[in-house]
Amino acid sequence: MKRPLSPSSSVPPVARAALGRRRFRPIQLLSAKKSSAGSQRPGPKNTEAPVGTRRGRLRVNVGCVPKKVMWNTAVHSEFIHDQEDYGFQNCDVKFNWRVIKEKRDAYISRLNIIYQNNLIKSQIDIIRGHASFTNDSEPTVEVNGKKYKAPHILIATGGFPTIPSDDQISGASLGITSDGFFELEDLPRRSVIVGAGYIAVEIAGILAALGSQTSMVIRHEKVLRHFDKLISSNCTEELVNAGVEVLKYSQIKEVKKTSAGLEVKVMTAEPNRKSTVSVISNVDCLLWAIGRTPNIKGLKLNRVGVRTDDQGHILVDEFQNTNRKGIYAVGDVCGKSLLTPVAIAAGRKLAHRLFECKLDSKLDYENIPTVVFSHPPIGTVGLTEDEAIAKYGNENVKTYVTTFTPMYFAVTKRKTKCVMKMVCAHQEKKVVGIHMQGIGCDEMLQGFAVAVKMGAKKADFDNTVAIHPTSSEELVTLR
């Protein structure tokens, strides 16, 4: 079910098209699991829904699902460090990376079979191949030498990790990306993660928790700079507390291969200070997590006139329409809210509109909750404090902040705090943002996100009876 992964190269888009010679209703061009929801939405009677995918590019293979397995593994390691504080003594525990890799890969294989069977049950044909548009008078897709036409063509090819070229940074190709992380056969002894986004934060946290000596190379002072400033500051602090070396204001200048591993040259240029150069030796895992590139190579969008931005993201309106009638796009390839559930929701809304006559069906991109599986995890929904001030004015924004130590750490030597911020707007104190980091914040966010989506006010939180003793009660007792 799985193809070999290539950590340092992109994968051209693949086509979801039909095997027969018939003219099909919808065609989907996919390379990620995220759009399968759109392909499984009900269509008109007797509608053929052709789809296909290269299995190795699924998010379930090299994305959020295996990442969560590894995060769970890292959390287990943290709990093991605390076990003596909870009375469990003389526990000689050793970690074997290959055991969890084998179990993780088996789990992913089972999921692949489930997804494929779901498509088959939905009478969806799967074609594996590289798709491209043709010069025909009406939108047409060519796959493996065959042409397929349809009144509706959905592009959901996702994105792939960005990696510098060797011309930009000498030896850059010696590193891997998040895709290659899941190919590692053993726990790296010495790891260097380049980037400050959520993927870099998550992988650095996993490796450090499992025992790899880990450094992060970031260009600015803090990680997650597009998150609320409370989260950005606290996450940076927690990474350091977890043993991650955070090299601030730094960039990779050169990578060399030696008999002992990689040698990574880092230039640091702090404000108002002379730049310095340092070398990290014996590196056996250099991982680039510096962003993602839209996966449009080989699609030949110019043949149908589909417009993209300067980065290659497909431009769509609020209904996921491109500028070409009958061609749509959802997910990471559009460059907006790069989250699997967002692409799934957008695909569903599009299917409702096209095949169920729900003409106003579209995804509301406001107040989309997101979680970063850092250590401890981050949960956030709505506007940051700075965004709220920019939208409503400083005089119309009030924030409520709390910092505390969760009860779990009351008896442990290891201490990790929990931080929470509620952002409210106008006199009625409508809750327009919630941001938190701490143990359990990943699971508690979903319910609070519903409240924010419904337009809850601070008074609604105040009038809710707290559940004690929990961390989540802090959000309904903020003063």
Binding residues for NAD(+): 195-202, 291
Instruction: Tell me the binding residues.
Output: 68, 195-202, 291, 332
Instruction: Tell me the binding residues for FAD.
Output: 68, 332
Q: Are 166 and 172 in contact (CB under 8 A)?
A: yes
SS3 label, residue 332? helix
Q: What is the DSSP letter of 204?
A: H
Phi-psi map region of 293: left, alpha, beta (phi>0 left; psi -120 to 50 alpha)? beta
- Residue 384 token pair: 């940051």
- Residue 134 token pair: 């043709």
Residue 285 φ then ψ, to 5°: -150, 105
Q: Are 358 and 347 in contact (CB under 8 A)?
A: no
Residue 42 φ then ψ, to 5°: -65, 140
Taking the C-alpha atoms of residue 462 and residue 479, their distance in angstroms, rounded to an integer, is 9
- Residue 84 token pair: 């003596």
Query: Which residues neighbour 333 within 8 Å (Cβ) at sequence distance 6 or greater?
Result: 155, 156, 157, 158, 159, 294, 295, 296, 313, 314
- Residue 147 token pair: 């042409």
Longest CA span, the chain: 74
Taking the CB of residue 395, how many other CB atoms lie within 10 A of it?
Answer: 7
Q: Please report, as a single letter, which amino acid is at residue 330.
A: V
Shortest CA distance to 242 belongs to which of 204, 198, 288?
204
SS3 label, residue 135? coil
SS3 label, residue 457? strand
Annotated catalytic residue within 81, 152, 435, 468: 468
**Peptide bond between residue 294 and the one before it cis (omega within 30 degrees of 0):** no
Q: Collect contacts of 301-309 with beta carbons under 8 A, ≥24 apart.
A: 301/133, 303/132, 303/133, 303/134, 303/135, 304/133, 304/139, 306/133, 306/155, 309/335
Taking the C-alpha atoms of residue 60 and residue 458, their distance in angstroms, rounded to an integer, is 38
Q: What is the DSSP letter of 359?
A: T
Is residue 468 part of the annotated active site? The answer reads yes
Taking the C-alpha atoms of residue 50 and residue 29, their distance in angstroms, rounded to an integer, is 9
Taking the C-alpha atoms of residue 416 and residue 244, their distance in angstroms, rounded to an integer, is 15
Catalytic residue set:
468
